[in-house]
Amino acid sequence: MTVSSAPMDLTRAAHVGISVSDLDASIAFYRALTGREPVAEGTMSSAPFGRTQGLPTAKLRYATINLDGLGIDLIQFQEPAGERTNGRANRPGSMHLCFKVDDFDAVYRRMKDAGYDFLGDDYTFAEGEVTPDAALGTQVAYFNDPDGTNLEIIHPKGGFSN
Domain ranges of the chain: 15-79, 96-155
Phi, psi of 158 (to 5 degrees): 60, -140
Q: Are 93 and 86 in contact (CB under 8 A)?
A: no
Same fold, 15-79 and 96-155: yes
CB atoms within 10 A of CB 30: 23
- What is the residue-level pLDDT of the chain in tens, covering all 162 positions? 788 888 888 888 899 999 999 999 999 999 999 999 999 999 999 888 888 889 888 899 999 999 999 999 999 999 888 888 777 778 777 889 999 999 999 999 999 999 999 999 999 988 877 776 778 889 999 999 999 999 999 998 865 655
Q: Are 66 and 39 in contact (CB under 8 A)?
A: yes
pTM for the predicted model, two decimal places: 0.88
Cis peptide before 80 (omega within 30 of 0): yes
Q: Where are the beta strands (DSSP E) in 20-124?
A: 40-46, 58-67, 70-79, 96-100, 123-124
The CATH number of the domain covering residues in 96-155:
3.10.180.10
User: Into which CATH architecture does domain 15-79 fall?
Assistant: Roll (3.10)
